[in-house]
Structure 1
Amino acid sequence: MSLWTEVKGSWSSVFEVWGSYWKLYGGWRALLVSPYFHVAIFCTAICYRFWSRPEWWETVISVAPTFLGFTLAGLAIFFSVSDEGFKRIIAYKDSDSPSSPFLDIVVAFVNFVVWQGAAFLMALIAKSLFFIWATAPRFYLELLPFLNVLGWGFGFLIFAYSSLLLLAATFSIFRVARWYETHVTTSVDDEDK
């Protein structure tokens, strides 16, 4: 097998799994109708004084690893539910649904990780591209403030949205906890009859 064939196969696999995630999430429509995205736009607007100045990216770079650690803890809690009967119930996908409740919870966490990763990457790029070019052409110097506002605003929007997805992931765990409580209560009630 040639190197080129392996590279193509590797990228094909990446596109397949990302496409599967994005489809299960709901795609662009789900993003655009998301209340978390709407709040992120609002937060980006009111935080203009913060992100329109250099070094806003330091906050993102320092916070993102902690958020990603939360993700691992949340998934560990989710997967630690030891009741196999409950796991089977939530992993069941009926023919009318695109996914099972189990996969919906996992997608919420994957979505959080994807956007946190994007925010972290944008912050690193913003940090690495911030430098003084003393001999820059005049048009560049005139255009740069507008490019900064666009790029930094977009980067902060991604960070704000990914931060709010922390709530979405948290509430997906809460939803599972409620389901589990109902499952256990029903099981105990059935045993008592």
Structure 2
Amino acid sequence: MGEFLRIFGSYWKNYGGWGALLGSPFLWLATVAGILVTYRFLDGSWAELALQTVPAVLGFTLGGYAILVSFAASDFRHAIAGKEADEETSPLMDISAAFYHFFAVQTLAFVYAFISPVFYDFNILTDALQFEYNSIVILFSEIGTFIFTFIGCVLIIYTVLMILATAMRIYSLLEDYDDALTSANNNNETDE
């Protein structure tokens, strides 16, 4: 457990913590979209969609991370490793934290979708047993279903949006690397 907490703490610090998560436009966009689509998925069908979609997205993520790690022995990795004095994290750890975050969100979405039938089965069971409901119990049941479904919708939408977020991080990293190479090439031409 200690190693898990150490690695998670390192990821969370390099990712940017709560400030980065709550300041993410992708999380806010997923939240707004979740509000808009939750009523469509109150039957629990979002979970089936998540169980069909997330493994493919996870495969994409693993492939992208494998490509990044395959550069481990290259000049590219050496160029992005190590942080500058004024930086909190190195570009290498920044992109690694982005991939880790992508993995974490996908795993959470998949597990949440996987266990969701328990919640919906409970509602079906109480209906089948024809418990005597009063209006307060019905209201709490409806609110609970909405909240549970809303969280699931936000997780699946955020998972999909993380594709764009991670691609933007990779693009930004490569743009910085290209700028550094261009500057180095210009300096070499000036020296000649």
Same fold per superposition (TM over 0.5):
yes
Give unmatched runs, 5+ long, in structure 2: none
The 5 Å alignment of 1:7-156 reads 11-81=1-71, 84-131=74-121, 132-133=124-125, 134-135=128-129, 137-139=131-133, 142=138, 143-156=140-153
Query: For residues 16-70 of structure 1, what are the alpha-carbon distances to aligned partners after superposition, in whole Å with 9 as ceiling and x for unaligned?
Result: 2112211221222211111111111111122123222232211100000111111
Range that drifts further, 181-190 or 96-105: 181-190
Distance 2:181 2:71 in 1: 12
So what's the TM-score if we normalise by structure 2? 0.83
Using the aligned pairs only, state the percent identity: 30
Distance 1:67 1:21 in 2: 20
- 1:3 is aligned to none
Equivalent residue pairs, number: 183
- 1:8 is aligned to none
Cα distance 1:137–1:71, how it changes in 2: closer, same or farther (>3 A)? same
More relative contact order, 1 or 2 (CA 8 Å, 6+ apart): 2
So what's the TM-score if we normalise by structure 1? 0.83
Paired amino acid for 2:38 = Y
CA contact (8 A) 2:51 2:113 kept: yes
Range that drifts further, 63-72 or 181-190: 181-190
CA contact (8 A) 1:31 1:37 kept: yes
Range that drifts further, 26-35 or 49-58: 49-58
- The two structures, once aligned, show a CA RMSD in angstroms of 2.3
- 1:168 is aligned to 165
